[in-house]
Amino acid sequence: MVDATLFFTPHQDDETLSMGSAIIEHVEKSDTHVILCTDGSKSIIRKVLDDGGSCSYHIKDVHKYSLSESEFSKDRDEEFKDSCEAMGVKESNIHIEDNRAHDGELSKEKAREIILKYLEEYPDAKVKTVTPFKASGIHEDHRALGEAALELYREGKIKDLRFYVEPYDYKDFKKVNPNVEVWKVLPSQEEKLLSAMNAYKKWNPESGHYAIGYHSVKSHFDELATNKIQYVHAP
């Protein structure tokens, strides 16, 4: 029987920016699932897309697209699914959690519920998610998800746990947590990682592609495309 690996991501794009290389690696050797835990609806980019401005990578078009929160969330979900598929995750293993939280409202309790739901089906699964340990500017949804996983690990409900440090936060993380041993994760299949990132760069409004991820954190995508290094640590 093939072992299961569960990647829990707080928002659309975190799975790629923080855990992409690991997802690609685990797809090759385990039954790999990626679970999205919030709807990503509160991003300021929803308003940016309707502000009349333009961006260098779609200079011939301006921001004239008014999306409801639900439409915006759905379009972010499509980017998430396209990115996961580019990393080799089976469509049936890409989970947009029915019980997910609204963006910015993921509590540790809600995160526990989501993690436990998948552990019921895959009790011996390896669990991967973002680190809960403080660094400057840590998003509370990230912290809640990491803290929930750590709590379940300490309770013995998670047997194998790894945390991923957001690459853009790595230097601050090491300042705050100098004694935490962190390993570098390099892409074994670089083209898959780049394809996964490109899912967040698609600009084709007529087909519902608004490059939301790239509008949101362009510098993070550009940095990862250049360095291609991600970071992991044990509990």
Read off the pLDDT of residues 154-207 as tens digits, 9 standing for 90 and up: 999 999 999 999 999 999 999 999 999 999 998 889 999 999 999 999 999 999
pLDDT of residue 103: 96
pLDDT band for position 1 (cuts 50, 70, 90): low
Q: For 16-44, how does the pLDDT look when each residue is reduced to its tens digit (9 = 90+)?
A: 999 999 999 999 999 999 999 999 999 99
Tally of domains in the chain: 1
Q: What is the mean pLDDT of the chain?
A: 95
CATH code of the domain containing 99: 3.40.50.10320
pTM over 0.75, yes/no: yes
* Alpha carbon distances (Å) from 178 to 18, 174, 175: 20, 5, 6
pLDDT of residue 135: 78
Q: For 60-99, how does the pLDDT look when each residue is reduced to its tens digit (9 = 90+)?
A: 889 999 999 999 999 999 999 999 999 999 999 999 999 9
**Domain hosting residue 151, numbered range:** 4-233
pLDDT surpasses 70 at 210: yes
Q: What is the 3-state secondary structure (H, E, C) of 161-200?
A: EEEEECHHHHHHHHHHCCCCCCEEECCCCHHHHHHHHHCC
Tokens of 118: 């998948």
Taking residues 101-130, what's their average pLDDT?
98
pLDDT band for position 6 (cuts 50, 70, 90): very high
